Every structure is written in structure tokens, then in C-alpha cells.
Structure 1
């Protein structure tokens, strides 16, 4: 009931038209003023209909003018002439039906647009609206930078107040609630349990559990610790947390997502503009059929009979509704586009380029094996080696550190040395409130961490000295500790270190593959193992490439700066045969530009030339697409017809160079996006062609007096409903 009331508020003409049927049915010819001689002498009920017709005509003309000013084709002329002609031939029931058609058409359009954009609306409703800025002295940036203990003390006060049932707000001096747009850089905010993080910031409190489903669709909450980057739009878990704002609201992650959503909603796809253009010849054809019917029959009634069936709604409403529905369907799949033109182009992609590292493969090299040295103790397991290496590497910024850290964390779980509360998606109810260590867990004790950039990292784990890094470093060779005083000495040291790594490879019976790399670990000065890592393909990369082939997209190319041997291994694993290796960023740009030029040099169909003249762009030219991580690939993303940036939500999603942003870092979204785009266009064309075909058949029948004028008016409404409802099916998941 509420939805009906809201719909009537949006289209106030609809309830008025529905109420007007009562006097038209009960007192159509009642004339309290008496009978006025003449051919035109309507009663009360009929005058009400005439007034509604007049109002509708004026409103329709105003909308036509507004559409033309916005650059769209105003084709409500058919409805205007149909309304006027039914009154002139004194077919008041038909006039009422056409008025109902116009009002209900607006209501159906409003409902359809709302339904089609429901997934986009859900994103908009999730936008942060307010923030709690801490007002305690000495906390925010303008009062100085308190030490870590100061932040803990403030958080403890807030948590104790909340735990005691105290209402914490501006009234007792803890914080003041302000609009999110008023948050300043450096402000310290608290986010209460269950609230949306208002702006991007750095976590100051000990730890927090965040729901990132609004950002990247990740279903399992993510536990982060002090110093972590916290994204706006994520939802806080069960503990109060404190963050320092690192971005203004307008620049934060969720607002970037909002800009993409807004841009997509306001744009119009080229195919929708084509539908607008086709509405003009349809209007001309409708008038021709109506004029010929009038001339042949000799009665103006036949003219009205034809025009009440002339409905451009499949063009004016069904086409844009289908594309908004498709845009919403993409958003539901965590794929955001900047404009509906992108959706149109997605369905016409002919050549896709993939960056290798981080796109076809995982973002960091992963551990694929631990190979123990002859000097390693027999009772030392691979998991224990990974645990100690992972703990030490967690303090390193080296490119291999994250892969070793992740493998170490998994080993800790297997060895039952990871607190349950620190495992993804796991919470210990006895310690969740204060994030204290789980009792009985033998968590590694770490200390004395020292990193030597480019060589390795060392420290103590459970009292044992652990060294992880290059062979010369972990074995204590002099070249690893030599100090370079100039560039020449630094170069010589690096060559010696590289030679030591090559010599170390001979100590193991198996040689590293071209795409593998190794780091070494020593315990208490004894070399115990080498940890082998490689850039492994994503688990679903091959399946995604295979699906693109099944969809008829055979031109798939991998671009990489890696050497041929390692590039070919990954390409063979994912199923790509066209590999361009050893490329610099400018080489990647040239490769995409060359593919675009070669594709554009093909035959130019006459229909494509017509569309180019009408729309200023080709509707059938080949389309190139580049898929990358949106950061290092920015130049090549910009030069491709469609740039697709894949992100896991921990980096800025709205890359300026990308037209499509995949929010959940899933390569399977690439074929899914193409499939949704193709299905959207197919449904749009089906809705338009079906609606126009039924309308033309109905007009021809009416021209031969087979459909009465009142029946025709209601039949036209049914055609509109069928077309629009069919267009709405683009929002359903049938891929």
C-alpha cells in the first residue's frame, strides 16, 4: 500500500484520472446549466475529461520542449494529437483511456526505473552520512599528536562508558556528531559497533573487524590491526574503534564509488539515443497510416482510432529501462561502469588485452614449496620453517614478504599457534570485546627485527635467531655486510650477491623453473631451507579465458614486462596463445593502439556509416578492452576503448583511466560483464521490436475499423506494459 501511495505522489495525475472515471460513468451528460444548442455540448463528466485532456496536453508539450533542450528527441506528439483527436470526435471514453495511458505510462516508467536501478540505489543508501569527531583535549590534529597510550586511554574511556550503558554523545564531552562532509583531515573519529566508517582513515585502536561487503562484496569480515588503512563504506564490527581521517569525505573510497554510480545513472547509451532517433520515423509512419485511414473512410473517427494505438513507449521507456537495469545488474555483480555507453561497448568487445601480474596471476608471488637443506635438523618441519620465516617477514616491505607472511600465517593455523580471534571470520566470544590474546595459545614471541634493504630481514622468534633473505645474507658472507661508498661499489656488491644466489641453486638437486624465485632461511646461523615462490595464476583464470573463447572472443592477448620463459608458463596455464613479453609501459600502449588501428582498417558497412553520421560514433567498429590493476596499467587502460581496473577494495577503485571497475578483484567478472552487456542489449531490442510490431499491427487493424477506438486505447496500454516489463528482465541473473 505504501508503494502505491508513493507512486501516486510521484505521478499525481494518475489518481485524478482514476477518480474522474466516476463522474464520466455516472453523470456523463448531466448539464445543470441546461442544454446549450450546438454540436459541442458536453456534460459534467465529459467536461472533467476535457479538462484532464487539456492539462495532459500542456504537460506533454512542456516535457517535449524540455527534452529537446536536453538534446533528446521529443516524440510525445503522438499522444498529444491522439488526445486532441478523441475529444474533437467526441469519443470521451477513448479520451479518458488515452489520458489514463499517459498517466499510467509515467507511473510504469517511474516504477520500472526505480526497480531497474534498485541495485544502484542500494549503493547510494549505504553512503556514510555522519561522523563522530572526538572532542577530548589533545586528540585531534589541531591539539597536537598524542602518543599511542593517549589514544588507548581515550578509547578505553569511550568503551567503558558504552559498556556501562552511558549515552555517549556531544553532551558529555566524548565526541560531537557532524555531517560527514565536515570532517577535516587529521580529525580523530570513533566508529561505534555496527556503524558505517564515514571516511578513509588509519586505525588507531588495537584491532577491528570490518564488513567490506558494501565495497568489494567480500562475505567474510576482515580483521585489521593498528595502523591499517580503513575504508569508508565498510561496516564496523562489535567493538568501538578509533581512526584518524586520511581523506576528506569527497575523496574517500565510497564517495569514489558513488561518483561512478551517479555517472552511470545520468548517462545515456548510444543505442538508447538511436532508439530516440527511431521514434521520429515511427511517428511519421503512424501519422501516414492515420491520414490514409481518414482519407479512405471519410471519417475523422478513423484517424483517432489509429492514433490511440500509436505508442512510442517501447522506444522512449523500454530502451532506457533495459540499460538502467543492465547497469544495476552489473553493480549487483560488483562491476561498476562510468557511463551507459560503456555497457553498450562491453557487448561489442572483439579484442581483450590482459596484464599478467596481479590480473591473470595473484597480486603477490606465493609460496609453492619449502626445500630443506642438508644441514637442517631432521625434526624441523616445513610448517615450522614457514612459521618462523613468515613472522619475521611480516615486518618487511620486500616484494616477496607478503607471500611468505601469508604462508607463515597458514602454517601457524595448522600448528595451532594462531589465536582464533585473528583468523579471518573467526571470533572468540570470551575475548572479542577487548581483543585480548586467547588463553592457552602459544603465540610466537618476536623481537630484535632488523631489515637490510635488498638483502633480507632478521630477528628472534621464540628466542631463536632467524634470518630470511638472499643466500649471502643468511649465510653471513662478507659481501652481504659490505658497505658501498659509491655507485660502483654498490653495483659490484649486487653482482656478487647475485652470483652467490646462482651458486646456492646448485646445492639443491632440483633447479628452479624459469618463473620461480627463492629466498633462504637460517636458524641460529645454520642454513635450513630455501622457500620457493612463484607468480601463480588465479584459480579461475583459465576458466574465465575459456568462457571468453566460448562467447566468440578469440583475440585474447597477454601483455607483460617479464621474460619469455616465465611469461609463456603463465600463458599456457591460463590458455592464452598471443603473448607479448619484455614490454615497457609505452610498449603496452603501442600494442593496444596498433590492434585498434588494424581492426578499424577493416570494411565499413553502410549501416555503420549511417550510425556514425547520426551519432558521431561507429556502432559496429571493433572494440578493444584492457584489463589491469588500475595503477601501474593506467596509460594502457586509458588508450583502450574500455579500460577495466580490478581492485579488492583496498586501493582507490575509481581509477581515472578506467571505465569499468571490478570491485571484488575477480577475473571471472570480465566474461560476466560482457555476458550481461550482451543480454541487456538483446533484451532491449526484443522489447522495442515487439512493442513497435504490435503497435503497427494494431494501427493497421484500426485503419480497417477492426478495433474500436476505446478498445484500441486500452490495447495500447497493454502493449506498453508488455514492452516495459520485458525490458525489466535485464536486471535478472540468467547468465
Structure 2
């Protein structure tokens, strides 16, 4: 403000004929910039850095020494403007640990005999009996007494599925009681408990995070000495210090001080339009250099909440019966599994019955009377001998890393509902984009078990996977990766906060609101889309490239102007004006960072978007029928040939009347519309080939069903081929749906972001 007012006032005075007053205003403007610039240079030298600000200080002093006040005032304005932009672009957001500390309970209920008192958590000592209510955070590490419990441990492990703990097992502080009130015997004080350690880890990780060096300073090592030498040569050759000042004026590093910050600020603005908040220019600059990405699993690569993955039945029960029994018994349960089961029941258009005599056993499940039957849902009886179909379910769940809710009706094991945390539909495409954008190494880092982590890592083709990691383990892994390459960490939970802070740049998914991770991370995604990580990196790389390009372009033009000034062709004032023109050019180039970076996907037309939404909705309606294909195959595999005829007929009807019309409509309507956003008609060729294979297997299935209907049963010699047909069709459809959802349906623009 001072420099602009001084320059404008001086120009006004000169126009009015008062040259002395004008020079006074310009001198004041020059001095107002010289004082802070000198401080910046001294501060940089104290820190062992030789910055380009030194040229500005020398040129400002030189203009005063040779009486070129107008040139000095112009330089002062450029310098002040550049510093303002740089500070705005590179101001580091305070890494607020408040969310971590706020989550820590301040009070706890301590039981002493029959007396229950509320005391500060800090007053708890080892051996105290602590009562933790439903939904409350466990205040200290303790051992369960008086009964089992169910705990949401996602804050520590990242595992979205609640964990049952039996009497005598240890429970760590920071987890949430997801069941009935429990009693814990304290085995550590609050300051020595697990959650306090997480806060400390985050603080330590933040403390060791080094600042990013300004882009401009990287050029200073050679640009500053070259400028000073050229100015000295000009003075010596021309015999006048004015030539030296002219060289310094046109060498004033405003292209460096302005172009880079403008490009960085433009990148920040572009990212914000997509729901990506990058806290500082330094964070964006670092993000543009990332070559290793470490990512959490639960809530990051997966949805972060369990859903019903499959329903298995004992002979004599249907899938609809099992899910309705289970939902009725779990209707009033707050358990996350219960909510998933009730939601699955509703998605099938079924209405649960109102249960009576509801009892919930923490860690095992719920029991209730439903329509006159005693129904139990959960882990009841899993330690007993299981029939073959149930043993298959348990074995499959162990391999796939899913949880199982067993359903008992009147003491008979009637079915099972497997629950899983599904992978995000945009994960595969995002991984491909990250690799195409320059990320050479992708690491999965999770507190979840090896089976669940391995499934995700294999599906995405990640380079390494580390499972069952504690918060401190995560910090160690991130630091180890960071010693080899510039590393980013992506996460969403409290347990990820220390690792986010330890990374060169932390990226937090915070679509559900403010979390500890969002407080620690330099990059915060406010939309629940993992592909925004790839968008953020593409924007950062482009902004950084444009910043360097603009700075280099400005320097080349400045060097040419310096040569002209050294030859006596540019007086200081004219050189300052020319420098302003150079500034305008590099700023216009830097503003290109406001535009969206090039992407490997285009924007679908309105007609294509309408079709994508239509077929995405149809996928949801077809899932039950696809699951029934697997159920029919299981009936055959378990030797229930007569029962299989009914299920096969139902499956064939679904395939002929629902599935095939859907696939044919996709082929004829959707795929042609995708040619433009995907780049060519060949982009959907592989999927069209899948349609052909679906038609072939459907035809074989129809012939088998016709033969079975005539015989009234499945001929034994047809079982093997029919099983291959059913299992093959089921897996092919799962793959086909998955690819369409990951490669085509994610082309829809984000409705919540301003593009």
C-alpha cells in the first residue's frame, strides 16, 4: 500500500510540475521497500541462504545512490507486490492438534463398591474400575471385567468392522464402546495409555517436518552472482555507475518473486474448485514432486462402512427369509452390523417384523422373538460343528477377510449374512491415473488384518502392503519411505494422523466433517471421492511446472534486458518499465495454472450422463439376481439336485427377462456414447467381448434349465457343466459390473464440486 501510494503520488506531483516533491514521494516509496527487503536478506543469510532478494536490495540502494528515484519506486512496488503474493501463497496453515486432544475424554466414571463417581481422567490410577457407557470413548487402557463387549477400534486400527472382546482381554484407550456399558480395570494411567501416545506421536512428527524451500531460491545460487558480476562489468566498461544500476533494475527478480507464487496460488484456486483444500503453496509444491504414495485402507480405498456382501442359506430357506429374520432380530440394535443387515433387508423391498423379548449379548449378537420364532443373529454357535454349507461360508469369509453374522431360527442354523467393507468404485481408475501422473510406488498401510488388506492390494496392483500396523508402526513406515523419495500419505482416521504428519505431505479424506486427520494434513479432500487424490496431484504437478516455466521465462527475458542495460541501451527508469512488461507476461503465463490440467478422461455429454445414471441404477437392482446365480450353484454343489430346479428356473427367468435386456441396452445405447469421453470406440471393445461371453453362458444355462424342467431334476451327468456355467456366469458378471462401475460410471462429474 505504501509503495503504490508513493509511486502514484510522485507521478501526480510530476504531472503538476513539482519535480522535487515527486522525487520525495518516490524516495519515500523506495526506502519503505528497502528497509524490510534488507531485513529479509539478513534473515536469509542468518539461516544460511542466499536469496534473490539480495538483488532487489542492491538495486534499491543503487537507484537512491545515483538519483534514479522513479526507478527505485517502481522496483519497490514490484517487490512489495511480489512479496504479498508469495506470502499469500506460501503461508503455512497451523497444524492444529485440537481435534486429537478434544477427542480425549476429560472425565470418567469410577466404581468403588456400589458407589459410582465421576472423576477427572487424569486422576485414574492403575487398578481403578472404570465404567464406559455405550458410544463413549475408552479413557484409559484397561482389562474387561464382568462381561464381554463390542468396540469400534477404527480410531486406532482403521478397521471399520466392530470387534468383540471377551472378559479378561485388554482394551486400548481411544476406542469407542459400540455395545452395552462395560467395566474396565485400568492397566495404565491416562498419560501412559495408547491414545495419549498417538497425540504425542503426531506432535513429534509435526516437529520434525522440514519447510519447503521457495522455488525462486533454487535459482539464486547462480543468478545472484551472475547479476552482480555483470553489473560490475557494465560499470567498469561504461565508466558510470548508472549502467550498473540499470543492470540491477532489470535484474530485479520480480519474475521469480511473482511468477512462482501466482502459479502456485492459481493451482490452489483450481484445486479448491474440485473440493481439494491445499493449505499452503509449500504443500502444493511438495505434492507436485511426490513419487511415492502411502495410503490407508478403511475409509480411503474402501467405503469405510460394512455392507451385506452375500447371503447363504441352509436347505429349506430362501435368501429373503434369512435376511428378513436377521433384520427383524437386529431391528433395534445400534451395532454397525445390525444397521447393515437392516439396510440390506430394506433394499430388497422387505419389511422386518417387530421383535419382542430382545436381548443383546455384547460380542456375540442379538436374540429376539420374531413372529413366534426365536431368532438369534451374530456369532452364536460359531464354535460348534457346522454343516458343510456353513463350513464353506466360514472358510470363504476367512479367505476374503469378511465378517459373518450367523442366523439361527428356533435353535437351527438357518443361514448366514457375510458383511464386507467394499472397495471404492473409483479406486482402480485412480491408481492408474496416479501411476500415469508420475507416482512410481504405491503402498497400502493399514491396521486391518492381512487377508482383508491383501485382497485390496491384489485388486489394485499395489507395490507393497503392510497390515496390522499400529499408529507408531505407520509413522515408521512413512518415514522409511520418505527417506527414499518424496512421499504422500492418504488417510481419514485418528489413527492415521501421526503418519499424515510424518509424510512430506499428508492428504486427508474429510467428507464427513472435521477430523483429527483433516487438522494434521496439508491437503484435505472435502468430497468423498478417492479420485480427487489424482486430481490434486495433477493440479500440483502442472502448477509447479508452470511456476518453474514462468520463472525461467522471466529470467531469460531479464538476462536479455540486462545485456541491453550493460551496453547502455536501457536507462534505469526505462529498464524498470520493461521489467514491469516482463512481469505481466510471466504472470499471464502463470495464470494458466487456473485451467484444469489435462486428463485421461473427458466429460460425458448430457445424454451420456443420463445413460450412465440409468445403468448405474439398474446395476443396483440386478445385484440380487446375480447373487442368486451363486446360490443356485451352491445348491447343486451340495447335492440338492431337486431343490436346484426351482432355483435354476428362477435364475434363468432373471437372466432372460432382466439381465440380458440390460446388457443389450448397454451395448446399443451406452457404449456408443462413451466413445468421445474415452477417446475412441475401441475403448469399450473388451467390455463388448464380455457381453458376448455373457450371452454364450446365458444360452448354455437356458438349455440346461429346459432339460432339467423336462426331467423334473438335474441329470447327474449335467451337474459338472452346469456348475461351470453358473459359477462362470456369476464371476463374469461380478467382474463386468465392477469394470463398468470403475471405468465408466465414474466418468460422471462430481455434483458437489464446482468444476
Change (3 A) 1:524 1:96: same
Give the Cα separation in 2 of the matches to 1:503 and 1:286.
83
Deviation at 1:686, TM superposition (A): 1.3
Q: Where in structure 2 are the equivalents of 1:352-501 lying within 5 Å?
A: 352-376=293-317, 382=320, 386=323, 389-390=326-327, 392-393=329-330, 395-398=332-335, 400-411=337-348, 414=349, 448-459=357-368, 467-470=375-378, 473=380, 497-500=382-385
Counterparts in 2 of 1:704-719, with a 5 A limit?
A: 704-719=567-582
Aligned counterparts of 1:394 and 1:339: Cα–Cα separation in 2: 47
1:303 matches 2:188:
no
Offset at residue 362 of structure 1 (A): 2.4
Counterpart of 1:63 (choices 8, 13, 36) is 36
- Per the TM alignment, residue 703 of structure 1 is displaced from its structure 2 partner at its CA by 1.9
Q: What is the Cα deviation at residue 505 of structure 1?
A: 0.6
Aligned to 1:351: 292
Describe the superposition over 1:579-607 as per-residue Cα deviations: whole angstroms up to 9, x where unpaired: 4456666665565555556x3xxxxxxxx
Aligned twin of 2:702: none
Output the CA distance in 2 between the equivalents of 1:330 and 1:499: 55
Instruction: Tell me the TM-score normalised to structure 2 length.
Output: 0.54
- The residue number in structure 1 matching 2:561 is 698
Q: Which residue of 1 aligns with 2:531?
A: 668
- Partners of 1:14 and 1:104 within 8 A in 2: no
Query: C-alpha separation between the residues in 2 aligned to 1:305 and 1:68?
Result: 21
8 Å CA contact 2:7–2:29 kept in 1: the answer is no
Residues 487 and 503, structure 2, Cα contact 8 Å, conserved in 1 = yes
For 2:277 and 2:555, how far apart are their aligned partners in 1?
Answer: 32
Please say which of residues 688-697 and 528-537 is displaced more in the overlay.
528-537
C-alpha distance in 2, partners of 1:119/1:67? 18
> Alpha-carbon deviation of 1:716?
0.7
Q: CA deviation at 1:717?
A: 0.8
Residue of structure 2 equivalent to 1:48: 21
Aligned to 1:505: 390
Please tell me whether the aligned partners of residues 445 and 474 of structure 2 are also in contact (alpha carbons under 8 angstroms).
yes
Q: CA deviation at 1:113?
A: 6.8
Q: CA deviation at 1:733?
A: 3.0
**What is the deviation of 1:578?**
3.1
Shift of 1:518: 2.8
**Contact map agreement 1:450 1:457 (CA 8 A) in 2:** yes
Q: 1:720 aligns with which of 574, 577, 583?
A: 583
Deviation at 1:552, TM superposition (A): 3.3
Aligned twin of 1:554: 440
- For residue 216 of structure 2, the aligned residue among 245, 267, 275 is 275
**By how many angstroms is 1:326 displaced?**
3.8
Deviation of residue 539 (structure 1)? 0.9
Distance in 2 between the 1:639 and 1:117 partners?
A: 20
Structure-2 change in CA distance of 1:102 and 1:449 (3 Å) = farther
Conservation of the 8 A alpha-carbon contact between 1:309 and 1:699: yes
Deviation readout 1:271-322 (Å, 9 max, x if unpaired): 31x6246447534433432332232233444334333312211233333444
Which stretches in structure 2 are left out of the alignment for 5+ residues?
Answer: 94-134, 137-198, 599-755
The correspondence of residues 500-579 of structure 1 with structure 2, limited to 5 A, is 500=385, 505-506=390-391, 514-515=399-400, 516-521=402-407, 529-560=415-446, 566-579=452-465
Is the helix fraction higher in 1 or 2?
A: 2
Going from structure 1 to structure 2, the CA distance change for 1:340 and 1:506 (only over 3 Å counts) comes to same
Give unmatched runs, 5+ long, in structure 1: 1-10, 28-44, 121-200, 203-255, 418-442, 474-479, 481-496, 600-621
Shift of 1:650: 4.7
- TM-superposed CA distance for 1:54, in Å, is 1.9
CA deviations over 1:635-662 (Å, ceiling 9, x no partner): 6555554444434335624467655444
CA distance in 1, matches of 2:82, 2:34: 20
Task: Tell me the distance in 1 between the aligned counterparts of 2:530 and 2:468.
Answer: 23
2:516, 2:291 → 1: CA distance? 25
C-alpha distance after superposition, 1:465-507 (max 9, x if no partner):
6735237x4xxxxxx6xxxxxxxxxxxxxxxx32345766159
| Distance in 2 (alpha carbons) for counterparts of 1:83 and 1:628 | 48
Partner SS state of residue 543, structure 1 = helix
Q: Does 1:21 align with 2:11?
A: yes
CA distance in 1 between counterparts of 2:443 and 2:210 reads: 31
Query: CA contact under 8 A between 1:558 and 1:580: conserved in structure 2?
Result: yes
1:543-597 C-alpha deviation (Å, 9 max, x unpaired):
1211222223232233456665554432222222534456666665565555556
What is the SS of the residue equivalent to 1:357? Answer: coil
Change (3 A) 1:53 1:677: same
1 CA distance for matches of 2:40 and 2:467? 51
Once the two structures are TM-superposed, the CA of residue 24 in structure 1 deviates from its matched residue by 2.1
* 3-state SS of paired residue (2:311): strand
CA-based RMSD of the aligned residues comes to 4.6
Residue aligning to 1:489: none
Mapped partners of 1:277, 1:547: distance in 2: 29
Taking the TM superposition and a 5 Å limit, the aligned residue runs for 1:99-178 are 99-103=73-77, 106-107=80-81, 110=84
What secondary structure, in the 3-state scheme, does the structure 1 residue paired with 2:250 have?
coil
Q: Tell me how far 1:715 sits from its aligned partner.
A: 0.8
* DSSP 3-state at the match of 2:251: coil
